[in-house]
């Protein structure tokens, strides 16, 4: 993982992921969020773990899309799971 400005990237992320997850110390204490929102990766993961669907999340937070939720899952997999080689 590396940072460009306040945007986090991993070397295997596809270009459409770039810029969708950002960290800014002035937004939500620097936690990773969906770009342009104050919706944290942590919140989305907690809601999904509680059994909420993509559509439930989008209804509660209309600025989310199916793609942005998928990016959160990819971000979590890339950053929180150990690599298996």
More confident position, 83 or 81: 81
The CB density around residue 27, as the number of other CB atoms within 10 Å, is 17
3-state SS assignment for residue 2: strand
The predicted model scores a pTM of 0.75
Assigned CATH for 2-80: 1.10.10.10
**In angstroms, rounded to a whole number, what is the distance separating the alpha carbons of residues 34 and 57?**
13
DSSP bridge partners of 24: 27
Closest CA to 35 of 60, 18, 53: 18
Q: Using one digit for the tens of pLDDT, what is the confidence trace for 12-29?
A: 444 446 689 988 899 999
3-state SS assignment for residue 24: strand
């Amino acid at each position: 993982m590396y940072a460009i400005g306040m945007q986090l990237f991993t070397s295997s992320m596809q270009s459409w992921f770039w810029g969708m997850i950002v960290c800014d110390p002035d937004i939500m204490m620097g936690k990773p969020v969906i770009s342009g929102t104050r919706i944290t990766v942590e919140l989305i993961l907690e809601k999904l773990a509680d059994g909420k669907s993509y559509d439930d999340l989008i209804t509660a937070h209309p600025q989310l899309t199916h793609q942005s939720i998928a990016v959160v899952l990819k971000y979590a997999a890339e950053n929180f799971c150990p690599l298996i080689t």
